[in-house]
Structure 1
């Protein structure tokens, strides 16, 4: 015998926090990233719940990401997150503590191109600069954690590259990491763009 469908009374589970990593060091404008229910809106707050650090929507791949919009003060920090689905809020995630460094050993790379909210073709140019004329920059697709492009830094502290493979149409959230002899910078600020068949214009 089949039983009638019961209304879904399950509470919304809290999201998870992947970055910043537990007890690790970050820069002042670090990446907040984790997983949740696709379509949900995730909000990140300080542990005391006195202020929000920002929010991001969970992608269809179940990942959310955003950069802190200002500059965090140096020292120990603690955060927690919750998500909202169709007006229903989850409980809080586990607390995540980390340390902010005012001057990390390797500064984050800056992405100049594509510009924020740009429309690009399937093989866009990624371009930017760093603060040391050495190493390489990796472009990471934040919705799957995969490297989609890599560039060597030149003597002018600039880098440019294109994706290893053409990108599928759709919306992308990327970040960049500067690698110097195996030592990594913090995540660069999130850059959002859309790949279209027409590209720019």
Structure 2
């Protein structure tokens, strides 16, 4: 027996006029299911048509994973909103250190980050473990907002041994989501 299946994935981006900043990358495959916001460090080249290694890996993972909100409630998401603490597009995150810090994000970055967070049932911190001072201050700023207003819906990726996943692009296929511990600043 052969089955024919079709699907439509809605895709949307919000970028700056000069295409140097990407504020939002959104993929919706099921309007009726909850949405997740994934907060990463900075965007790469993914857009409304192209995927990059990290966004594709996250989407593929979240399509399959059942997220345990509590002991009684498990959900599958129907889409993601990828936002970044720095909206400056750079395929090599280590190159961000060479840029003027004030150019790495702007007020639209924060507006779209907040909009995505407010409109999602879960928030996943996936900005990696890099802890340079340039990143630490911005991560702490976002962490404080999440802790104050959204702490009950913040998660992060963990490996089989319950250690934090370094970065979504290199996470294992069997990575899980765990409630974010705001007392640990290594992620």
Instruction: State the TM bucket, normalised to the shorter chain.
Output: under 0.3
Higher strand share: 1
State TM-score, norm by structure 2.
0.23
Q: Who wins on radius of gyration, i.e. which is larger?
A: 1
State TM-score, norm by structure 1.
0.22
Higher helix share: 2
